[in-house]
Structure 1
C-alpha cells in the first residue's frame, strides 16, 4: 500500500506570530488500500517516520523513570496540571478532571498561556471545576476551562486559575478572531429536564487577557447543539463549528456569520453546510476522495431550540434536524477543526469505508475516520467547496481522529480517540494496553506516521497545539476522575529535523 498516493497538502506553509498557514491540493486515495489492515507497528506500512526516526519509550524530564510516552530520539517532555493535584496559584483548588481541547497564546511576559477545556460530565451538583460561585453560568454544572501560564525557560507552570466555570461537558473549542480569546464548547444539550439549573449546549468566550475567572455568558446565536470544536476565518471573522451528536446520529458542519466578529455576543446567523444540488447527502461513507464538491449554506431558523429533540423525525426541533430538513449534509461524529491559510481541516472520528467493527443503532457501520477540507468562497453568494482529504484504510494508519492542528511546517498532527469496542488493537510500544492512542502526522505528500504513543493509559489524547513560536507542542492525556490519570505535557525537540 502506497500511502503517499492517498491525499494531501501539496502547498507550502509558514508560521508567523503563532498563526499557522497551509495551502492544500489533494490527490486521490487508493481505495484498494482499505482491503487490509497492517499490523499496528507504525502508521505507514513502508516505515515512514516523518523524518524523526523510530519511536522509543521516553521518561518525563521532571519524573525520571515515568515513561508516559514513546517519542522519536531527541525529544523530551514535562508533565503538569495532573487531575486532582493542587493548582499552582491557589493550592486549595485542585486541577479538574477530563482534560480535552486546548490552545496556546502569548501569555504575560515570557509565558505561554494555555486554555484547557475540562470535559466534566458529572451529575448535577457535582463536578471538579472550582472557582467563584458568582461567575458560574449554572451553579449545578461542574465543567469549565483552566488557564495555565507556562514558562518555557523553566518548563513549569507559574500561574493558573479557572477561566470559566459552571458549564458542562466542555469538549473542544477554538481561537476567537484576532486571538481575542478561547471559544469553549459544550458537547451536550442537557438542561433543567436533566436536573441542571440552566440549558446547556452553547459556546462561551474566555478572554485571553483575563487574570481571574470570567463570568460565563452563553453565545446562544451560535447554536444549541452538541458542540465539538470551532475555527475562525482570520480574514472575515466567520466562525466554523463542528458537531458530535454521538454515534448513529446525524452531525452537521456549521458556520456562524457574526454581526461583529470582535463581539460575538451581538449575534449573527447560523447556517449548515449543504452540497449544491444534492440536498440531505450522507457523507459518512462511499465518498470519492480528492473531488471538490460545491457547497451552499442553509439557515437554521431557530438556533436555540427548547426543548431539544435529537431524533431526525418530522417536526423535530434540534439544530441538526432543522438543518437536515433544509437540505444539510450529514457526517458521523465531527470533532476537531483547524484553520489553515485559505481552508479548514475537519476530523470525522468514525466516517469511512474501512470499518472498525462497531455498528450504530441506525445500522451505520463505523469507519476508522476521515479528514475533510473546506475552502470558503471568494465572494458573497459563493458557498465554497468541500472535499474528502484523507480516509483511513485501517486502524494501524489512523484510528478515530479527534482534535487536530496544523504544524508550523504546514502538515497535520492528529489526536486519536480510539473508542472502538470490537477490534481491540494493541501496540508493541504500549505493552499491556488495548485500544492504544497516538499522535499521527499527516504530510503534504500524503504520508502518515506515528509521532507519539500513549503508553501510560488507554486514554484519548486531546488538545494538541503548538506554542506561538512553534518550539513547544502541548498535548493532553484526557484521563478519568481518578487523581493523576490526566495531565498536560509540553514536548520539545528537533522539530526542523522532520516535517512538523
Structure 2
C-alpha cells in the first residue's frame, strides 16, 4: 500500500472526527474532498499571469527591488507572510521579507478607493522573516524562521518601534494566530519533527510575560483529544523547545496558522495537511489531507492559510504544486480559486483579505525569475465578488 492507501485505511476506517468549531456551517464526517468551486472554473490567464474565476480581476501592487508605484519606497525581496489591518475607511497590507540577516517587514497603505497611499518599512535587522499573525490589538507578529528564531511585535503604521517577544519561545517560528476567546497565541514550527505551541500571556494584549505550552497527544494521532503542557525552557538552548516534553505531538513542517470562531487551523507542508484544533473541545482533526482525497489532489505544497471575512471559507496557498490558492469551503469542498502561471520555481505567500473582504492580497515570492534570493518577488491584489455566507 502507498501512503495514500495506508492513511485512508487508518483515518477513514475508524471514522474521522467531525468539527465542532463554528467556522464550519455544518460539521462533516471526513476531510475536504475535490468538488466544484463556488466560483466556477478558472478563466484564461490574464495579463498578470493569473487564471481567475469569471468576474475577478488582478493587479500588481509591488515588485521586489522596485519602488511601490506612487511612492518612493523600494519593496523588499522575497515577500512572505502578510496580513491586512483596517485604517479608517482604508487599510494596510503588511508583508515579511524571508531573506537572511536583513529580512524585516514592510507595509503598503491603501486609501478607501483602493489606491496606494504610501509604503514604508516596519521592521529591520531581523533574519528570514517567514510568516506571522495579526493581533486583536492591531499589531503584526513577524516570525523568524531560523534556529532560536524570535517573534517580533511590529506596528503596521510604522510609528512605534518593533519589540522582541522572546517569551513566545526561541525556535524555528513560522506563523502565529491569536485566540481572543481563550486569550492565547498559537504558534507553528517549521521542522520535520516540529510542534504546535500556544502562548498564554499573564495579561491579554501584553506579550511580555506568560507561559509557553506545547500540544500533547498520542504519537501519530490525526484525531481525538489533546492536552497542553508547559515548556520548561522557552529559550530552547541547549535543549530545543520541541524536545523538552516527551508527550508533545509531532508535525511535519508547520506552516500557516489561522484562528476563527473556536477553531485554529494550521498547515503542515511535509504531508500536505490542514489541521483543525477545536479549542473549546480540546480535540484535533484533519480538515484536509492530500492522501485522503478521492482522485487527484487539487491542493499540494500546502503552505500559508487565511480565512475570508464574509464567509466560512479557508484559502490555502501552495509552495510549489501548480502554484494555486485553493479554497476549502464550509461544506467540505476543496477547489482551485486561482492559479499563477509561468512561475513554477516560486511559491505563493502571504494571502490576506482587506477588512471588507472584497480584495485578496498575496505574493509570488520569487516571481518568474525563480531566483532564490527573492529578487523577482511580486505582490498582487485580486478583486471580485467573493461570496458572503451566513455563519452560525
| Superposition TM-score tier, normalisation by shorter sequence | 0.7 to 0.9
Residue 111 (structure 1) aligns with: 90
Please list every run of 5 or more consecutive structure 1 residues that lacks an aligned counterpart in the other structure.
Answer: 14-20, 31-42, 60-65, 122-140, 190-199, 308-316, 352-368, 379-383, 419-434
For 1:270-285, list aligned pairs within 5 A: 270-275=212-217, 278=218, 281-283=219-221
Note closer, same or farther for the CA distance 1:9–1:391 as it changes in structure 2 (3 Å cut): same
Q: What secondary structure sits across from 2:276 in the alignment?
A: strand
Please list every run of 5 or more consecutive structure 2 residues that lacks an aligned counterpart in the other structure.
Answer: 1-11
Deviation string 1:434-477 (CA, Å, 9 cap, x unpaired) is x5210111112211111101114121111111111111111111
Residues 21, 278 of structure 2: 8 Å contact kept: no
Deviation string 1:318-347 (CA, Å, 9 cap, x unpaired) is 010113x3x101110111110110111111
Residues 11, 23 of structure 1: 8 Å contact kept: no
Q: CA RMSD in A?
A: 2.8
Note closer, same or farther for the CA distance 1:387–1:498 as it changes in structure 2 (3 Å cut): closer
Residue 95 (structure 1) aligns with: 75
Deviation string 1:49-105 (CA, Å, 9 cap, x unpaired) is 32322212343xxxxxx33110111110111121010246863x5211111111111
**2:346 matches 1:444:** no
Note closer, same or farther for the CA distance 1:12–1:231 as it changes in structure 2 (3 Å cut): closer
**Aligned with 1:409 (options 311, 314, 320):** 311
Residues 9, 443 of structure 1: 8 Å contact kept: no
**2:67 matches 1:86:** yes
Shift of 1:175: 1.3
Note closer, same or farther for the CA distance 1:11–1:322 as it changes in structure 2 (3 Å cut): closer
**2:130 matches 1:182:** no
Residues 57, 383 of structure 2: 8 Å contact kept: yes
Q: What secondary structure sits across from 1:320 in the alignment?
A: helix
Residue 320 (structure 1) aligns with: 242
Shift of 1:235: 1.8
Shift of 1:406: 1.6
Shift of 1:255: 0.6
Residue 72 (structure 1) aligns with: 53
**Aligned with 1:28 (options 10, 27, 30):** 30
Residues 181, 205 of structure 1: 8 Å contact kept: yes
For 1:1-150, list aligned pairs within 5 A: 22=24, 25-29=27-31, 44=34, 48-59=35-46, 66-87=47-68, 91=72, 93-107=73-87, 109-121=88-100, 141-150=101-110
Q: What secondary structure sits across from 2:63 in the alignment?
A: coil
For 1:160-239, list aligned pairs within 5 A: 160-176=119-135, 178-189=136-147, 201-208=149-156, 210-212=157-159, 214-239=160-185
Q: Give the TM-score normalised by structure 1.
A: 0.68
Note closer, same or farther for the CA distance 1:12–1:244 as it changes in structure 2 (3 Å cut): closer
Q: How many residues align?
A: 370
Structure with the greater alpha carbon radius of gyration: 1
Q: Which moved more, 1:296-305 or 1:21-30?
A: 21-30
